[in-house]
Amino acid sequence: KKINDRSAFVSSLRMIQQRSPSSYFVDNYQFADLFSATNLAHVQQDVQSKVSYYGLMGHYIYRRKINQVFSATIATELNDNTFQSTFVLIDSNSRSSTASAFSNHSTYAQQISRLEMNFNRTYPSFEWTAAMSLKYVDSKIEHMVDPHRKHSPSHLLFSPQLAWKWRLHPKGELKG
């Protein structure tokens, strides 16, 4: 949205929901020794994968003069992934049982929040940019089979930048 002749604000929202169930049937000769099962006719693997993503961003731009631009961005993202896999053993009498030692149920969640600021100044033969980025990353990994295997790292990241660009002379000589 244009606020006035010198400034504007842009915002966006993204949402993604994805579910991917899959089921595989495999002949018994590949897994009979692995599961130590007798009278095994088929092995079925059920896989459930779920992804949820939400992102919100706001970007402000202010042009002080024709050659001076300031911009600021604030954003946050939430990402949640769940994966579940189960083997079902089917014998020749069509009775089924699960191989719980070979099951997997894990979740991975991450939140990223960031603040970025940027100031750009342009001259006839060169330009420079000063920028700063502050990012907070919070992650959580959890295994449902082994609840003691939780991992939750959090990081605060700071990244200053200073960039310099110059224009080359048409004959290849440096000016500025």
Per-residue pLDDT of the chain (176 residues; tens, 9 = 90+): 778 888 899 999 999 999 987 877 776 566 666 776 667 777 888 888 999 999 999 999 999 888 899 999 999 999 999 988 888 887 777 777 777 777 788 888 999 999 999 999 988 888 899 999 999 999 888 776 566 666 778 899 999 999 988 776 667 666 55
- The conformational region for residue 39 under phi > 0 = left, psi -120 to 50 = alpha, else beta, is left
Q: What is the pTM of this model?
A: 0.67
The 3-state DSSP class for residue 124 equals: coil
Which residue's entry shows tokens 């149920």? 105
Give the pair of three-digit tokens for residue 76: 């946050």
How far from chain centre, in Å, is Cα 112?
A: 9
Point out which residues pair with 39 in neighbouring strands.
Answer: none
